[in-house]
Chain A
Amino acid sequence: GQQVMQIPQYQHVQEGEDFTTYCNSSTTLSNIQWYKQRPGGHPVFLIQLVKSGEVKKQKRLTFQFGEAKKNSSLHITATQTTDVGTYFCSSGYSTLTFGKGTMLLVSP
């Protein structure tokens, strides 16, 4: 797997505010996956990005892969309490390297 770093480690927002987490690497990545882990749960696959500059949307979630394939972002528009959890990025195929995750808290 390829090394990835995530920022921020933690963010607390009010419901309705937007949220963004970033995943960065010093080397070109083959791909990026994003996972969400609810408190007490297991990582659930959200999306995989492969192409340079790729943008994918899932309802209020927007995922981007940088043009240089060295960074990615996950943006949530108008957060809801159901968005609470830790968001992990990872890179690789069969063998993944995970970032440390961004924990999102949403206050009603």
Chain B
Amino acid sequence: SAVISQKPSRDICQRGTSLTIQCQVDSQVTMMFWYRQQPGQSLTLIATANQGSEATYESGFVIDKFPISRPNLTFSTLTVSNMSPEDSSIYLCSVWGQGLADTQYFGPGTRLTVL
């Protein structure tokens, strides 16, 4: 398995501001992902964080709103830009790799509330 940490664990932000969420894993992994989970809902994939290149975004998510970085094989950031109350959600990073038996593991999540 992999040990994943996220910072911050939770935050309350004002409308119009931006928040950057960090994800750190304890070993090098092939792929890192960012998900959103709205209250009482399932997980929705935002994007795949690619090392050294632009992230790959799913339908409905764009780089201007959710810029993502992945400078190395153990770290990634997701920024939620120009926030509105609709962005209130839990944001989760996950990792996947052959060294993890083709299994995806999730970080503890960041609970974001936008006022």
Are A and B subunits of one complex? yes
Provided the pairs A93-B96, A94-B30 are in contact, do residues A43 and B45 lie with their beta carbons within 8 angstroms?
no
> Is B106 interfacial (CB 8 A cutoff)?
yes
Provided the pairs A42-B109, A93-B96, A94-B30 are in contact, do residues A88 and B104 lie with their beta carbons within 8 angstroms?
no
Q: How far is the CA of A97 from the CA of B96 in the complex (A)?
A: 14
Complex interface: chain B residues within 8 A of A95 (CB) = 33, 45, 48
Let me know if A96 and B42 touch, CB within 8 A. no
CB-nearest residue of chain A to B56:
A95
> Is B114 interfacial (CB 8 A cutoff)?
no
Q: How far is the CA of A98 from the CA of B43 in the complex (A)?
A: 6
CB-nearest residue of chain A to B48:
A95
Let me know if A42 and B92 touch, CB within 8 A. yes
Let me know if A88 and B31 touch, CB within 8 A. no
Query: Chain B, interface size: which category?
Result: 20 to 34
- Residues 13-37 of B, flagged 1 when their CB comes within 8 A of A and 0 if not, give 0000000000000000011010000
> Is A85 interfacial (CB 8 A cutoff)?
no
Provided the pairs A94-B31, A99-B42 are in contact, do residues A42 and B107 lie with their beta carbons within 8 angstroms?
yes
- Residues 32-60 of B, flagged 1 when their CB comes within 8 A of A and 0 if not, give 01000000011101001000000000000
Query: Chain A, interface size: which category?
Result: 10 to 19
Complex interface: chain A residues within 8 A of B1 (CB) = 45
Residue from the list A43, A99, A101 in contact with B106, Cβ < 8 A: A43
CB-nearest residue of chain B to A97:
B45
Additional A-B contact list (19), CB under 8 Å, known A41-B108, A45-B106, A93-B96: A33-B103, A42-B92, A42-B107, A43-B92, A43-B106, A45-B1, A45-B105, A48-B101, A88-B42, A90-B104, A93-B102, A94-B30, A94-B31, A94-B48, A94-B96, A95-B45, A96-B104, A98-B43, A100-B41
- Can you name 15 A-B residue pairings with CB atoms under 8 Å? A33-B104, A41-B108, A42-B106, A42-B108, A42-B109, A43-B92, A44-B106, A88-B42, A90-B104, A93-B102, A94-B96, A95-B33, A95-B48, A96-B45, A98-B42
Which B residues are within 8 Å of any A CB, using their own CB? Answer: 1, 30-31, 33, 41-43, 45, 48, 90, 92, 96, 101-109
